A and B are shown apart, each in its own frame.
Chain A
Amino acid sequence: MPSNKSVSDAPIVQFTNCRILRDHQLQREDLWVREGKILNPEKVFFDEKGSADVQLDCKDSIIAPGFIDVQINGGFGVDFSLATDDFKSGIDLVSQKILSHGVTSFCPTLVTSPPSVYHQVLPQISVRNGGAHGAGILGAHLEGPFISKEKKGAHPEHCLRTFEAGAFQDLLATYGSLDCVQIVTLAPEMRRSSEVIQELTKRGICVSLGHSVANLSQAEEAVQHGATFITHLFNAMLPFHHRDPGIVGLLTSDKIPAGRRVFYGMISDGIHTNPAALRIAHRAHPKGLVLVTDAIAGMGLAPGRHTLGQQVVEIDGLNTYIAGTKTLSGSVATMDTCVRHFQEATGCSVETALEAASLHPAQLLGIEHKKGTLNYDSDADFLMLNDNLYVRATYIAGEEVWRQDASGM
């Protein structure tokens, strides 16, 4: 007997013959979905006396929450830091293409750019739900320009700025609007950064430390003022030193305020971080690890030259450098590749690898009550994967939005 009309007309779909990731474990359970949310079947059975309208056999797939990428600069020829006329269609293209990588929500990232770029681009980014048109947009990630000159990495030096003059007002003037901004990466050793961190945190924006030469105390102070994330750990920061661990030391710092957790992004493409370093970070603080792609426009395209904001980068295999140098600049890795590489390099369980790309980013952004898990009443954004963690199908709000066809495309 299908849905109880007095409660809801919407059809109930039951996904059977699968293993779902719930409570940090893969369990042999069915997944029930109605009206775009994960449904509690026990309630349906006893309270509504209803049952499934449609049953789908998942052929023993793994069902995991959709991946959330909080650092992605573009892809497929689209560069989020370039203010083009067809910016909107560019972001639509990327959001549609990354469905095949298992990403159901993302934060389009802008690297250090002149204010004009922010003023033109940011109004064109809006927070929106995902669907057949593409992955959902959670808000922009602004990486720079308030970062350190010494650790600028691939960011253009002439666009770097400081907080000296007007601190938060400066930041607001630079970006134009913070309406759809979810994350800001800055260097905490800069003067007056504490006020800025506090202001941003007050507005619900996640502050991330990165591209910085801060020492551990400066980093801890930033965390005490509200910072909760570290942008691509190890890259663009001082290396770990046993008498001053720098930002890396936050992973095991005892000065983190009670009840708070510091998360850290890792680009596990096998290039940005040596697998041994990845393992050290993971073992030191497994619950804080967030997988990110830091993908650039060249992701998904043939090797060659592409742009990254104001810079030109060159892609050679999996390596992406500032043209003519050996400075890494983003990656061309896809999220599912990162998940697989992370699992292989650390030897962690499938559950851990999947959570690093779904639960942890959701916790970072404070949205784990609706994203990042398969708990009852969460948004039904999920993936069907095979045992080797290759994505077979992507679902957003309970609807299939991508499926790997027989040709393996």
Chain B
Amino acid sequence: MKLIILENYSQASEWAAKYIRNRIVQFGPGPGRFFTLGLPTGLPRDHPESYHSFMWNNFFKHIDISPENVHILDGNAPDLQAECDAFEEKIKATGGIELFVGGIGPDGHIAFNEPGSSLVSRTRVKTLAMDTILANARFFDGDLSKVPTMALTVGVGTVMDAREVLILITGAHKAFALYKAIEDGVNHMWTVSAFQQHPNTVFVCDEDATLELRVKTVKYFKGLMLVHNKLVEPLYSMKEMGAERSQSKKPYSD
């Protein structure tokens, strides 16, 4: 794995954004598609807390993506399992996920793969853990009864099939989860730990998120920042395709 440690939330976000941008340009999107991840069920699509609203307000409305390239799991589909299976099929049909971007929960979950989820699971319906419900209550005016209790989510196995995984972790409340994810063993109680067995994972975090890690780990990866920063400088642009793209080999392998 590559552990990228930045000073604070904005710097971590900016590094991740630049990295994703470079990867998109390198990927040379054409008929390439775009997938978006797991979401709570039962919320009407235009509810302000639905993932449709979230993705629209925080992402889609700011970019020029074509609506037919957006694939969001529909939590209101009549047959939820069929919806999940179809999602898996769509991923396969487009040649698999090139880059998966996600965060982790304080309980170490990736997507909504709560503690105890199979590390080879696929897209399915999951019941949310109390920890997650509590964490989400702030979006529902603190009213626990309003928080959805089930969610559709990509599975750990689904994400493991991606060619590259980028996880963003910021804040002290995620520190313990990060420790469990990278310094302890692979364990289905901390599903992010599965990525220790993925060939190509990047964790981007801020100082606060490293609070539970060993000083040795942090020093080691900070020492590699010179090399890691080559992944975001130069910033590629779609206009300068061609020569740049063909030289997309990484500075070193994991």
- Chain B hits for A47, CB < 8 A: 45
CA distance A50 to B52 in the complex (A): 15
Q: What is the number of residues of chain A that contact chain B, defined by CB distance less than 8 Å?
A: 13
Interface residues in A1-39 by Cβ distance below 8 A to B read 1, 30
Establish whether residues B61 and A30, one from each chain, have CB atoms under 8 Å apart when the complex forms. Answer: yes
CA distance A93 to B67 in the complex (A): 46
Give min CB distance, A13 to chain B, whole Å. 16
B66 closest partner in A (C-beta): A1
Establish whether residues A46 and B66, one from each chain, have CB atoms under 8 Å apart when the complex forms. Answer: no
Give min CB distance, B75 to chain A, whole Å. 13
Establish whether residues B67 and A50, one from each chain, have CB atoms under 8 Å apart when the complex forms. Answer: yes
CA distance A45 to B67 in the complex (A): 6
CA distance A30 to B61 in the complex (A): 9
Contact flag A46-B61 (CB < 8 Å), given A1-B67, A51-B66: no
CA distance A336 to B152 in the complex (A): 52
Give min CB distance, A267 to chain B, whole Å. 40
Interface of B is mostly: helix
Contact flag A46-B68 (CB < 8 Å), given A30-B61, A41-B61: no
B136 at the interface (CB under 8 A from A): no
Tell which of A41, A46, A49 has the most Cβ of chain B within 10 Å: A46
Interface residues on B, range: 10 to 19
- Chain A hits for B45, CB < 8 A: 46-47
B60 at the interface (CB under 8 A from A): yes
- Chain B hits for A30, CB < 8 A: 61
Give min CB distance, A402 to chain B, whole Å. 29
CA distance A313 to B152 in the complex (A): 73
A43 at the interface (CB under 8 A from B): yes
Partner of A42, one of B53, B66, B72: B53
- Chain B hits for A50, CB < 8 A: 67
Interface residues in B147-178 by Cβ distance below 8 A to A read none
CA distance A48 to B68 in the complex (A): 10
B64 closest partner in A (C-beta): A51
CA distance A30 to B60 in the complex (A): 13
CA distance A40 to B48 in the complex (A): 13
Establish whether residues B68 and A49, one from each chain, have CB atoms under 8 Å apart when the complex forms. Answer: yes
Other A-B pairs, 11, CB within 8 Å; known A46-B52, A46-B56, A46-B67: A1-B66, A1-B67, A40-B46, A42-B46, A42-B52, A42-B61, A45-B61, A45-B70, A46-B45, A46-B72, A47-B45
Give the interface of A toward B (CB within 8 A): 1, 30, 40-43, 45-51
Question: Can you list 25 A-B contacts (CB < 8 A)?
Answer: A1-B67, A1-B68, A30-B61, A40-B46, A42-B46, A42-B52, A42-B53, A42-B56, A42-B57, A42-B61, A43-B46, A45-B56, A45-B60, A45-B61, A45-B70, A46-B45, A46-B52, A46-B56, A46-B67, A46-B70, A46-B72, A49-B67, A49-B68, A51-B66, A51-B67
Give the interface of B toward A (CB within 8 A): 45-46, 52-53, 56-57, 60-61, 66-68, 70, 72
